[in-house]
Structure 1
Amino acid sequence: MSRPERIESKSTGVLSALGSKYSAEILCAAGTPKSAQALSEDIEIPIATCYRRIEELVDAGLLTCEGRQLSEEGRRTNIYRRTVDELEVDFSDERPQFSQKRRTEAKNRLQDQLED
């Protein structure tokens, strides 16, 4: 099992991203690679809101663009997956401190195989 990694410098961005409505739902749904359209449909939120939350989560380092694939309509679309499985916030110091359990490539590959 991997050790949690400390996040020191991104505390404001992480808290801001997590504080936005639907962000936690997007992270939960993005355990496997999904397009913004698929995330929007899964969570039942407007696509414009989904794109805004995705941008915030990517900027905070909690979500990553894994590449592009063709949509059902034949358009190239970005595919996103969360970068963490667990995030802990410690408020006992002057500033919030974060510990995170990052997703490994091995876990991503295994989960991708299970989904096929």
Structure 2
Amino acid sequence: MSRSQIKQTEGDSAAVLSALGSKYSVEILCAAGTPKSAQALSEDIEIPIATCYRRIEELVNAGLLTCEGRRLSDEGRRTNIYRRTLDEIEIDFSDETPEFSRKRRTEAKNRLQDQLES
């Protein structure tokens, strides 16, 4: 798969850079290669659940994480399941506004990874 150039506005660039710069955001993105709830991410990374929810919201707003739907938790509650939207991101700071090159995750890769996890 080739990298896709994403034309970003200054607001989009600021949101991505802000989200990536927040403590634990990178760890959440790495852990969210497979669908996981906020509770599972919080436990995997060993961070408070409130912090995890704040980072998830930032990452979703920046387009780096997506809610894939809802599942029942072990306690029987409906909970959102998240997965990252990309595998790689490259940031070029040589111009006035950062430019991003992303390697997006494909649905085919997500389905294959889900099959391997089951």
Same fold by TM-score greater than 0.5: yes
Using structure 1 for the length normalisation, give the TM-score. Answer: 0.97
Name the amino acid aligned to 1:40. Answer: S
Where structure 2 has 5 or more consecutive residues not aligned to the other structure, the ranges are none
Equivalent residues in 2 for 1:13-52 (5 A)?
Answer: 13-52=15-54
How far apart are residue 53 of structure 1 and its match? 0.1
How far apart are residue 3 of structure 1 and its match? 2.8
Cα deviation 1:42-97 (Å, max 9, x = unaligned): 00000000000000000000000000000000000000000010000000000111
Measure the CA separation in 2 of the matches of 1:73 and 1:23.
Answer: 27
Measure the CA separation in 1 of the matches of 2:70 and 2:4.
Answer: 29
Query: Is contact 1:39-1:50 (8 Å) kept?
Result: yes
Measure the CA separation in 1 of the matches of 2:16 and 2:7.
Answer: 9
Measure the CA separation in 1 of the matches of 2:38 and 2:89.
Answer: 22
Query: Is contact 1:5-1:102 (8 Å) kept?
Result: no
Q: How many residues align?
A: 116
Percent sequence identity is 83
How far apart are residue 4 of structure 1 and its match? 2.5
User: Equivalent residue of 1:85, what SS?
Assistant: strand
Q: CA RMSD in A?
A: 0.8
Using structure 2 for the length normalisation, give the TM-score. Answer: 0.96
Measure the CA separation in 1 of the matches of 2:15 and 2:77.
Answer: 31
Where structure 1 has 5 or more consecutive residues not aligned to the other structure, the ranges are none
2:96 to 84, 94, 97: 94
Which aligned segments of 4 or more residues in structure 1 are displaced greater than 3 angstroms? none
Measure the CA separation in 1 of the matches of 2:14 and 2:96.
Answer: 13
Measure the CA separation in 2 of the matches of 1:80 and 1:73.
Answer: 18
